[in-house]
Amino acid sequence: MNPAFNPFKLLTQVAIAHPNEQLNLTSGNVRWNIYFYQGKIRYATHSLQSLETIESCLYSLGYGEEIPKISRGMAQGNLSLEKGSKCVEKAIKWLTEHKNLSQSQKMQLLTQLTKEALETFVWVRNGKYNLNQEQFCSLSIDNGLNLEELLHFWQKKLQAWQKLSPLIYSPYQRPYCPDVSLIPSSISSTSANILKKIAQLKGKISIRQLSILLKSDDLKVAEFLYPYIQSRVLHLYPPLTPLDQLPRIPSAPPSTLSQKTTVNLNQNNQLFLSHENITHPQDYQTNKVTKIICIDDSETMLNTFKTYLNSDRFQLYTLSNATTALNKLFEIKPDLLLVDIEMPGVQGDQFSKILKRSTAFKNLPIIIVSADLAKIQASKINGQLANDFLKKPFTKEDLLKKIYKYLN
């Protein structure tokens, strides 16, 4: 069995290395499609999203009493037969034509559906991936969604869900009460009424559907139900098909600190995660070795860096291509990055800009190196590309002065 991988790290890596591509994941019988633009998520979907998913999102957007009528109308248009992005596209078209769905409302709906897809994505622990440079999607959220904010939100929510495992492993589990007499008499009337309502429903609705009825968040509803499940006042049926094909909420965090995860692309642009157990030695500040990555397509310049930084004080890593450097950045966790501005593939200034926008590397000191003073000046004008600049040719003293400026 393959070790668990980290979907949070995967999203971050793809956003940095392939900021305008489409990430596809297949796990079991479910497929996720996540569309990136300039490192932001412009839309995400999974193959089990359906008319019911859209109804849930419409409830959260305040459509309320209109939902049954809307559902009947969309069902007559055969939307109940569609799944995934096709269902969403047809639903939005129907809502625009029959309910005058505004652009703002469309963006709200797409945002809700994207968040719904991403929630189950971060539960995945095994799957196959690929990247597409051409994005086949007519749907897009204006300005995209900030990946850093999304990942922070889902990380916190996942941790909260994990406190309820293994009893609760999905918001699509269906609570039921086998014996109303087991409902404690000491609880509040509000709590008692909710439990009695669950008893009446006889397991016909999921935790998520119950949260819609209660006009609450599904996690909060699950947290309310949890002690009654523990005491066996309530029981849980598994999710109905096909929602039982979605991944379960993992009971443990995605991959541990003792495991590193790297992403590699084969010749067919198929994305794979590989794992290697490593031991992190204790980092003594008094004898700390500074890890520096140098990226330059010139072998002569890389040798210059090796000569100038040949010291027990530094641990130097030299790379000739920025496109393949991202995995090393995650693996090495450098203290400082030196990058040439002119390279094949990704330009050094563009690579630096991408890193500065990421959560993982926004605080990494980056020094851009170039022989072209005009390009250095242009990069300075653009701003937020790097911490500093170094013009070629330079002396050992010039280089060390720049490095110590950011390490001390």
Strands, E assignment, 18-154: 22-27, 30-37, 40-46, 128-132
Q: Which residues of 217-236 are buried (b: 16+ CB within 10 A; e: fewer)?
A: ebbebbebbeebbeeebbbb
According to the model, what pLDDT value does residue 276 have? 33
CATH number of 281-407: 3.90.1010.10, 3.65.10.10, 3.40.50.2300, 2.60.120.10?
3.40.50.2300
According to the model, what pLDDT value does residue 4 have? 55
The larger pLDDT score, comparing residue 74 to residue 287, is at 74
Phi, psi of 36 (to 5 degrees): -105, 145
Single out the residue of 87, 79, 84, 86 nearest to residue 30, CA to CA: 84
Strands, E assignment, 133-232: 174-176
pLDDT tens for 323-374 read 778 788 888 889 999 998 887 666 777 788 888 888 788 889 999 888 888 7
pTM of the model: 0.65
Name the range with the highest mean pLDDT among 220-234, 244-258, 321-335.
220-234
Please state the domain extents for the chain. 7-162, 174-238, 281-407
According to the model, what pLDDT value does residue 196 have? 96
**Is the previous residue joined to 393 through a cis bond, with omega within 30 degrees of 0?**
yes
Q: Enter the tokens of residue 216.
A: 């609450």
Residue 128 above 70 pLDDT? yes
